[in-house]
Structure 1
Amino acid sequence: MATTKWSIDPMHSEVQFKVKHLMITTVTGYFQTFHVEVETEDEDFSKATRILFTADVNSISTNNEQRDTHLKSADFFDSDTHEDIRFEGTNYEQTGSDAAKLHGTLTIKGVSKPVTVDVEFGGIVVDPYGQTKAGFTVSGKISRKEFGLTWNAVTEAGSVVVSDDIRLQAEIQLVKQN
């Protein structure tokens, strides 16, 4: 079996998160700079030997500069000390023909925890330029407090400003490197 290396196609990929604000609306944020490296046996992702995702905390965008600055501060991601969010996949578990669970370790703000995300495999195609591409939709949910992101405030009515649950959503397109 040959090892196949894959890397991110950043022009056709996105990584976002969603969090409840005041428990009545949802705010969406993005990481504008991120990397994915995958190594598989041939083109079989269920036999991945390496899955590494990193996101640059300083590339966070919620379309609000003041909020983005607060998210980069020590109250949340502490980007001066912890520049990246990191996920290292340990097991790509096929659960259906196009469905899988990706198990791994997520590290945020120096705290590492096991996390499992859902993966929908979109398939493998050759693009008009002769590049082999693979597509995935990744979704999951984490508790921000488990990763040391504990800042919050309470409104006069007793509601929290930011929910604990963070929903993760990514559209990932990989390019075969060899």
Structure 2
Amino acid sequence: MEKSIWNLDPTHSEIVFKVKHMMISTVTGNFKEFSGKVETTSETFDDAVFELDIESASIDTNNGDRDNHLKSAEFFDAENHPKISFVSKNYTDGKLEGDLTIKGVTKTVTLDLDYNGTAVDPYGQTKSGFEAVGKINRKDFGLTWSAVTEAGNVVVSDTVTMLINVQFVKQ
């Protein structure tokens, strides 16, 4: 089978993250602007290479002041590091391993990946859907800002949960 290219459909995709705030509640945010593709020769995506580019300045937590802080040098430094990227290296048994780059730091991460299947939409386009979940330590990527409350609680947890729901369109 020849190699096929699948481009990410942003209107049917989302990139969400969750992080504990003061260790008593969870803040949810997402990125509004991203692109990606998959290259594969397999109908089951066994040999797929996934690529994802996220605009760091597109972060949205439903709070403008917090979003501006997250875009600042204390977190994503969106002005100097406008892209967050992921390129897969291996996909086996529901695990997707790849290089995640945030703020100029690249680390290998492993995500749980569910392939939800392939279908043809009413317009004749072939689409495939995936859901990925994983956790990273934000400090591994240079997102080291921290504060402690008077009671000794950490304001922002080091652990960030990523939830990536994406749909790709066969080219």
Query: Would you say same fold, with TM above 0.5?
Result: yes
> What residue in structure 1 maps to residue 103 of structure 2?
109
**Structure 1 vs Structure 2 CA RMSD:** 0.8
Counterpart check, 1:150 vs 2:150:
no
Distance in 1 separating the partners of 2:17 and 2:135: 9
> What residue in structure 2 maps to residue 77 of structure 1?
76
> What residue in structure 1 maps to residue 45 of structure 2?
45
Shift of 1:44: 3.2
Q: Letter of the aligned partner of 1:145 in structure 2?
A: K
> What residue in structure 1 maps to residue 159 of structure 2?
165
Aligned residues between the structures: 171
Give the percent of matched residue pairs that are identical in Structure 1 and Structure 2: 56
> What residue in structure 1 maps to residue 59 of structure 2?
60
Q: Deviations over 1:52-79 (max 9, x none)?
A: 1110001100000000000000000001
TM superposition score normalised by structure 1: 0.94
In the alignment, structure 1 segments of 5+ residues that lack a partner are none
Large movers: runs of 4+ above 2 Å? none
Q: Letter of the aligned partner of 2:150 in structure 1?
A: E
Shift of 1:51: 1.6
> What residue in structure 2 maps to residue 8 of structure 1?
8
In the alignment, structure 2 segments of 5+ residues that lack a partner are none
| SS in structure 2 at match of 1:114 | strand
| SS in structure 2 at match of 1:47 | coil
Distance in 1 separating the partners of 2:83 and 2:44: 28
| SS in structure 1 at match of 2:46 | helix
Distance in 2 separating the partners of 1:88 and 1:42: 18
> What residue in structure 1 maps to residue 20 of structure 2?
20
Distance in 1 separating the partners of 2:29 and 2:81: 18
